[in-house]
Amino acid sequence: MFALVTEKAYGQHRSYFDALDNEDHGLQWLRLADDGVLHGPSNAHPEVGWLSSDVFFGGLIDRFFEIVEAAPEFRWLQSAAAGVDLKEYQRLMSRGARMCNAHLTAIPIAEFVLRAVLDVFQDAGRWRAAQAEIRWEHHNFREVWRSRWLIIGLGAIGAETARRAQAFEAHITGVRRHPTGDEPVDAMISPAEMPAALPEADVVVLAAPATPETENLVDENFLSAMKPGSVLVNIARGKLVDDEALLRALEGDRLATAILDVFNTEPLEPDHPYWTHPKVVLTPHSSGGGIGRWDRGAELFCDNLRRLLAGEPLVNEVSSMQLLTTDLPFALGSQ
């Protein structure tokens, strides 16, 4: 069986591939280099492939799918991303190929949220400023302990965030349209019940996908219902927030801070008010950048490849129904 991976992923995770080779599955590796050249036996076509993170960010995605779609016997794709909305996925599955997605960034995003909220609650900038000015200065700060969190979207990212906030003994209310019953929260409510929960929340985390139903979810009414001094965190998609409404709300006393990692336009325009607003903490869509996601991706690919060869159920297999229902709000994580 020929398996398609990138040259970079093959080199970075060689131990995982060597372990598969030692198990004598009869695998041969087709390696896609950064320049688009495919290394391996000539005229070979892959049957399986790993769409690793470097494909998305290294400019190889078109070349990767060109190879896959030209392979007449291609039967399984492992993606490093959670999203399943690429048209190439639909084309592959319409041919009978199977596909699995991944939730590799849930851990770093959840860690990012806790770090960012702690930074705001503790007003850590005052310590950094005092150190820079060589001043020995104390200040009091808010605690996460017994704070109340509203997490909108309880997919992989929302759930990982909830677990970490609970470790600080925060009270977590989750919002999800179709609860499974095992979410790591203290209370679960439906989207219809969300407005009543906003006035109680010290921290509101947006972790839902961008859909027609969630576009501009955070509007004038949403913001006016939030608790005075609360913190808004958006690690979902920029489309969930009405920027003009948020800027107006930040001029008042209701929101203490908006922690924003995603925006309606990316990169964010250089003259956008968010850059210099004193109540905005801005990062360039980087909350999922934890390097542990690379090893987790390799482990998942190799585990699923073993399962495929053994005829066992695959982890995170995507159904054709999921491709048709990715617009259901609160059903999946956002990244």
Active-site positions?
Answer: 237, 266, 285
Distance CA 318, CA 323 (A): 8
- Rg of the chain over CA atoms, in angstroms? 22
Output the six-digit token pair for 324: 């048709």
Residues 6+ positions from 13 with CB-CB distance below 8 Å = 294, 295, 298
- 311: alpha, beta or left, given left = phi > 0 and alpha = psi -120 to 50? left
- 303: alpha, beta or left, given left = phi > 0 and alpha = psi -120 to 50? alpha
Secondary structure element (H or E) that encloses residue 61, with its range: helix 61-69
Output the six-digit token pair for 285: 């869509």
Sign of the dihedral through C-alpha 264, 257, 144, 188? negative
Measure the CA angle with vertex 190, ends 186 and 194; round to 5°.
85
Measure the CA angle with vertex 66, ends 64 and 72; round to 5°.
110
Output the six-digit token pair for 176: 């999800």
Distance CA 334, CA 209 (A): 4
Residue 183 identity (one-letter amino acid): E
Contacts by residues 181-186 (CB-CB < 8 Å, ≥ 24 positions apart):
183/154, 183/159, 184/159, 185/151, 185/154
Distance CA 276, CA 262 (A): 16
